[in-house]
Amino acid sequence: RSRYKSSNIEKWFGWKPEDVLGSSTWNLVHPDDLDEAQQFVGNLMNETGLVGTTECRYLCKDGSYKWIEITMMNLINDPDIQGILGNYHDITERKQAEQELTTAKDNAQQSETRLKLATFAGSLGIWDWNVKDNVMIWDDRMFELYGITKDTFPNNNDAWTNGLHPDDKQRAIDECYASLNSGNNFDTSFRVVHPNGKIIHLKADALVFKEPDGKPLRMIGINRDITESIYAEEQLVIAKEHAEQSDRLKSAFLANMSHEIRTPMNGILGFAELLKEPGLSGKQQQHYISVIEKSGARMLNIINDIVDISKIEAGLMTVDIRESNINEQMEYIATFFKPEAEKKGIELSYRTGLPEHKATIKTDREKVFAILTNLVKNAIKYTNKGSIEFGYNLVETYEDNPVETHGRASLPSDGRASLLEFYVRDTGIGIPKDRQEAIFERFIQVENVDKMARQGAGLGLAISKAFVEMLGGRMRIESEVGKGSTVYFTLPYSAKPDKKEPNQIDTFMDEVLQQFKKLIVLIAEDDEYSELFLELVVKKISKKIIKAKTGFEAVEACRKHTDIDLVLMDVQMPLMDGYEATRQIRQINKDVVIIAQTAFGLSGDKEKALMAGCNDYISKPIQREKLVNLMQKFFEN
Ligand code: ADP
């Protein structure tokens, strides 16, 4: 119960006595302070003579609050007073001042925290250079950025210049002094070399403060690590250049392809047109037909190359690893290319690095054949005089110099690896040093002066290199302009002796062949190299060899020589193909053994050949051993 109310109440709070008459003073206390104030009074009531102080806000008539410090004394037992004596003291101003102070302190703390977080988030190092006294102060991040510790810190301007990259040092220092002199902001970037050799890129920004007389006083700035963005920018530039280059390559490729395909197409269409002319002599016809054939063959080569490169690019090229005798391949390639080399007056020779009985390796025979063919073909193409030698050597490498294997063919894992290193060496025009890497790229050719004379799409080496890598090897070139080139490539090798004894192997074939009666053989083959090869193979078992270049000639030969024992029939011949020729021969001779030579990998050929009346077939390129096996089947006594 409030018994006495000072008139100050009106002066302080604006309430008239009648305003508050009959209502409790508690109604005027700020709701947030009410609990504390009531507790305070409650406590005070418990003990007589007790004095206490509290602070609370009172509502004024104008709606504002005043902070009041209340001091109260329990005088219940005092006979005169018998109540609580209270004294009110207006502390609103003091409270406001206090409040402002805390707010200011909070703000200052917050802004410092914000600054710290921001510099941290931005990985910013902060530095403060007192230019006048040459004293440098760094924050922790600065030490990290320069990769140094506080004990090696020189405390002055050397702090940042010491670590500068030699190529950037003078420029950065000059720029710094230019800012000091002009008062303009320092804004630059440079590289810093850490004591451990690591190089990072920093961006620096700083403000310059001057004395009233214009002398530089202080420089405050931040440094930021921009290594990653510089790197990203570089990568972007590289990626852009790559994209542009591959664009250029594609355009160049298309132009090249277009030329490469048009040229043989013109040959085919042009000479087909000429063939229509009435009254051509047989010789003229043969000539035109041979041009059409050659153009077609060239076209087929280009298409094969494009198919191969597309398969490689699409990751669809597979390897077919089997046992294969590498010496036989060498011999075959030498026989195959000899006429072409001799036509140019170039000597072609080969060398094997392993004896016959050790020359069987596990690899993809067709791919090795394609690689060697490509390289020897290039050697002949780019050599005008001198010689070409190809071959291989056995070399050993060790684990610390391993050869990567990309394909299914892998190296033995005993720490030691054997390799066959193949080479194709020519005395040709050579390749300039700066082009020796590029020629392995797709669609790239060295700009030859007499380019027209040397047709090609620039795909051969790219395909060959991809094949070598699929087989677990590597390809490289050594070349000097005007002197010649040597292309090397490796293949994994694991010695695996043949079942037959070494000294018997060479005589084995001969022994087999001696069991045959001597035969009369008809070789029906339009391609002169293939014909030459077959002749070499069958020479030992034949008493007479007859040759035919077309299906017609083959039928004619059979009609004339009824005693022919064996026909080696190429299925792809001009004018009349091997199937038709076989059908016609069967009408006149049911007994002659006809073996079809089919193109490699075309599965339908086999059935077609048997349907036409062939006894058996053999796929090209023909392996001597297979042919001998067939002979055994049909002619062994
Ligand atoms: P191409 O079909 O043009 O011959 P390649 O990929 O086989 O394509 O070769 C690419 C280029 O490398 C050739 O155009 C040629 O300039 C160069 N080259 C390849 N082999 C030889 C070599 N033995 N001697 C000189 N230059 C060569």
pLDDT in tens, 139-166: 989 999 999 999 888 888 888 999 999 9
Residue with CA at minimum distance from ligand 1 atom 3: 458
At residue 4, does pLDDT exceed 60? Answer: no
Residue 469 has what pLDDT? 92
At residue 605, does pLDDT exceed 60? Answer: yes
Ligand 1 pocket, mutate which of 461, 476, 480 (most atoms under 8 A from CB): 461
Question: How many C-beta neighbours within 10 Å does residue 484 have?
Answer: 21
Q: Which of 154-168, 247-261, 315-329, 603-617 has the highest mean pLDDT?
A: 154-168
Residue 637 has what pLDDT? 60
Residue 417 has what pLDDT? 67
Per residue in 21-54, pLDDT (tens digit) is: 777 888 889 999 999 999 998 888 888 888 889 9
Ligand 1 pocket, mutate which of 298, 312, 382 (most atoms under 8 A from CB): 382
Strand runs labelled E in 76-113: 83-90
Where is average pLDDT lowest: 179-193, 360-374, 480-494, 499-513? 499-513
Who wins on pLDDT, 294 or 171? 171
Residue 446's φ and ψ, nearest 5 degrees, are -75, 135
Residue 72 near residue 96, CB atoms below 8 Å: no
Residue 355 near residue 315, CB atoms below 8 Å: no
Residue 112 has what pLDDT? 84
Q: If you measure from the C-alpha of residue 448 to the centroid of ligand 1, how many angstroms do you get, rounded to a whole number?
A: 10
Per residue in 384-421, pLDDT (tens digit) is: 999 999 999 998 765 444 444 433 344 444 445 688 99
Residue with CA at minimum distance from ligand 1 atom 14: 445
Query: CA dist 467 to 15, 80, 246, 323, Å?
Result: 104, 119, 22, 17
What percentage of the chain carries pLDDT values higher than 70?
A: 88
Q: Max CA-CA distance within the chain? A: 163
Nearest ligand 1 atom, CA 456: 2
Residue 44 has what pLDDT? 86
Q: If you measure from the C-alpha of residue 433 to the centroid of ligand 1, how many angstroms do you get, rounded to a whole number?
A: 14
Residue with CA at minimum distance from ligand 1 atom 7: 460
Question: Residues with Cβ < 8 Å from 615, sequence gap 6 or more?
Answer: 593, 594, 595, 634
pTM of the entire structure?
A: 0.44
Where is average pLDDT lowest: 220-224, 540-544, 608-612, 633-637? 633-637
DSSP for 344-410 reads: TT-EEEEE-SS-GGG-EEEE-HHHHHHHHHHHHHHHHHT-SSSEEEEEEEEEEEETTS-----SS--
- What average pLDDT is seen over the chain? 84
Confidence label for 603 from pLDDT (cuts 50, 70 and 90): low
Residue 1 has what pLDDT? 44
Q: If you measure from the C-alpha of residue 343 to the centroid of ligand 1, how many angstroms do you get, rounded to a whole number?
A: 20
Q: Output b/e per residue, 409-421; b: 16+ Cβ within 10 A.
A: bebeeeeebebbb
Per residue in 437-452, pLDDT (tens digit) is: 888 877 666 655 444 4
Residue 600 has what pLDDT? 57
Please compute the mean of the pLDDT values over residues 471-497 and round it to a whole number: 88
Residue 266 has what pLDDT? 87
What percentage of the chain carries pLDDT values higher than 90?
A: 40
Please compute the mean of the pLDDT values over residues 313-327 and round it to a whole number: 84
Who wins on pLDDT, 617 or 415? 617
Question: Residues with Cβ < 8 Å from 214, sequence gap 6 or more?
Answer: none
Residue 416 has what pLDDT? 55
- Distance separating alpha carbons of residues 135 and 150, to the nearest angstrom: 14
Residue 377 has what pLDDT? 93
Distance of CA 634 to the CA centre of its chain: 55
DSSP for 459-523 reads: -HHHHHHHHHHHTT--EEEEEETTTEEEEEEEEEE-----SS-HHHHHHHHHHHHHTBPPEEEEE
Residue 456 has what pLDDT? 64
Ligand 1 pocket, mutate which of 298, 378, 479 (most atoms under 8 A from CB): 378
Nearest ligand 1 atom, CA 457: 2
Q: If you measure from the C-alpha of residue 459 to the centroid of ligand 1, how many angstroms do you get, rounded to a whole number?
A: 9
Confidence label for 511 from pLDDT (cuts 50, 70 and 90): low
Nearest ligand 1 atom, CA 429: 25
Please compute the mean of the pLDDT values over residues 90-115 and round it to a whole number: 88
Residue with CA at minimum distance from ligand 1 atom 11: 445
- Distance separating alpha carbons of residues 592 and 405, to the nearest angstrom: 49
**Residue labelled with tokens 């050719």:** 445
Nearest ligand 1 atom, CA 462: 6
Question: Residues with Cβ < 8 Å from 299, sequence gap 6 or more?
Answer: 261, 264, 265, 268
Who wins on pLDDT, 536 or 384? 384
Residue 10 has what pLDDT? 78
Residue 231 near residue 217, CB atoms below 8 Å: no
At residue 177, does pLDDT exceed 60? Answer: yes
Strand partners, 383: none
Where is average pLDDT lowest: 198-207, 442-451, 459-468? 442-451
Residues near ligand 1 (Cβ within 6 A) = 378-379, 382, 426, 428-431, 439, 445-446, 448, 456-462, 485
Residue 637 near residue 517, CB atoms below 8 Å: yes
At residue 172, does pLDDT exceed 90? Answer: yes
